[in-house]
Structure 1
Amino acid sequence: MSKGRRLWRGGAIVALGLAGLALQARADEIPAGPSETEIIEKSIPSAPGADGLFDAAGYRLKDYRAPVPAIAPGAQTVTLAEVQALQAAGAVLIDVMGAQRFHIDAAGRWITPPGPGGGHLTIPGAIWLPVVGWGALEPWQEDYLRQSLADLTAEDPARPVVVFCKTDCWLSWNAARRIAGMGLKKVCWFPGGSDDWTGAGMALTRAHPWPLRSGPDRPFAP
């Protein structure tokens, strides 16, 4: 079954065809979204290798909020202190917290409920890519990830990238592993994510997703 996302534009509703969600909405409104803790699926942790948890390539497909391994293949696991040092040295911080509901306007800007002004609370300076941590990506999502990485690193494969979400979040594990396979030379995975950041007494800031580039594969009608 494919994850179902819908995008509202003008007077039409355009199905995006992402797995697990079917949205109904009038064209002139966006429905109230889930809370941030509801955005990624929560369940009793399942043992790795159980039926349906991973695909043939080893990406986690469900039960995204569950204990994670100590490492993500191809990525370096980093601590909060290391994240701060990497950011100070120019690393790109990428938050992959999932968004179940969103609107993308004609300019490629995202509107993501809930909360006043939409958006998502993340580590200051981090970039939010909300659809790249799922176990299986549709072509437009993978294109969005590649294009965003090219933009954010200025196409410099040596620029460090730090991937995170929250604690016990397989979305960041999936994304770190996927990004490591895209030719970047230093991919870091921060499994503590924004929870470790706030746990250290530091504030989060509101962010909106990195824009979606124009092009023939945009997931809405021209």
Structure 2
Amino acid sequence: MVRRATALWLCLCLAGAGAALPARADSGVAEPDGYRMEHYRAPTPDRLKGAVVVDTPQAAALVEAGKVLPVDVLPRPEKPAGLKEGTIWRQPPRDNILGSAWLPNTGYGALSEPVERYFRTALERLTDGDRERGLLFYCLADCWMSWNAAKRALALGYKRVFWYPEGTDGWIAAGLPLERSEPVPAE
């Protein structure tokens, strides 16, 4: 009942022109003009111009109500350098918020042309071209990659962009369920 009431409150807030959700506690980190280009695991700003910043209860309500597509941008780990010849290496599993699309490596400040195209075309496919589709970007707590990816989605013309700075760390701390995930394949 509480989650449904929260979801209704969010819907009403988002329906209003210029309405915004309450901001997080002030981190003292300024919002940069461009993308964060290095030191991605560091305290993040409290806002992202054009996006709605949500905490864990708000993110959970949006996901539960089906109002957003959760998008994880955490990088996929690369095979460690220097492994002994013949060593079998397996990608570690990634558990995500239910219903998430995992677009790894798309939260860096500067993207190569193939990764930029992957991000753009994957969002296009996942939203069926609907720039009004709600997108909830996240990775981990104190991770600029989700901030960068949300900013990039805004630049691509997506209108309902949500940024969840607590990411899976906040989700796990709240005892919310996760599911095993694989990256969205390139076209």
Q: TM-score, normalised by structure 2?
A: 0.73
Which one of 47, 61, 76 corresponds to residue 71 of structure 1? Answer: 47
Determine the C-alpha separation between the residues in 2 that align with 1:186 and 1:48.
22
1:139-218 map, 5 Å? 139-213=113-187
Counterparts of 1:63 and 1:48 in 2: how far apart (Å)? Answer: 15
- Residue type of the partner of 1:72? L
- What is the Cα deviation at residue 114 of structure 1? 3.0
User: Is this contact kept in 1: 2:137–2:150, CA < 8 A?
Assistant: yes
Summarize the Cα distance change of 1:113–1:65 in structure 2 as closer, same or farther, 3 Å threshold.
farther
- Listed as ranges, the gaps of 5+ residues in structure 2 are 1-28, 80-88
What SS class does the counterpart of residue 122 from structure 1 fall into? strand
Q: Give the deviation of 1:140 after TM superposition.
A: 0.7
1:95 and 1:71 map into 2 onto residues whose CA distance is: 18
d(CA) in 2 for partners of 1:94, 1:194: 11
**Which residue in the other structure is 1:96 paired with?**
73
1:120 matches 2:94? yes
Distance 1:125 1:135 in 2: 26
Larger RCO, structure (CA 8 Å, separation 6 or more): 2
SS at match of 1:121: strand
User: How far apart are 1:48 and its partner, in Å?
Assistant: 6.8
Distance 1:86 1:150 in 2: 21
TM-score, L = length of structure 1: 0.62
Counterpart position of 1:86: 62
- Summarize the Cα distance change of 1:152–1:63 in structure 2 as closer, same or farther, 3 Å threshold: same
Q: Percent identity?
A: 38
Give the SS at the match of 2:137.
strand
Question: SS where residue 151 of structure 1 aligns?
Answer: helix
Q: Say which SS state the counterpart of residue 147 (structure 2) adopts.
A: helix
Give the whole-Å Cα distance in 1 for the aligned partners of 2:90 and 2:123: 24
Instruction: Supply the distance in 2 between the matched residues of 1:63 and 1:182 (Cα, whole angstroms).
Output: 24
In angstroms, what is the RMSD of aligned CA positions? 2.1
Bigger shift: residues 77-86 or 143-152: 77-86
Q: Measure the CA separation in 2 of the matches of 1:165 and 1:187.
A: 15
Cα displacement (A) at 1:211: 0.6
Are the equivalent residues in 2 in contact too, given 1:74–1:180 (CA < 8 A)? yes
Distance in 2, Cα, partners of 1:62 & 1:212? 25
Preserved CA contact (<8 Å) 1:86 1:160 = no
- Deviation for aligned residue 1:130: 0.4
Aligned residue pairs, count: 149
Deviation, structure 1 residue 167: 0.6
Residues 41-80 of structure 1 show CA distances to partners (whole Å, capped at 9, x for unaligned) of: xxxxxx879xxxx8xx621111110000001232110122
Amino acid across the alignment from 2:73: V
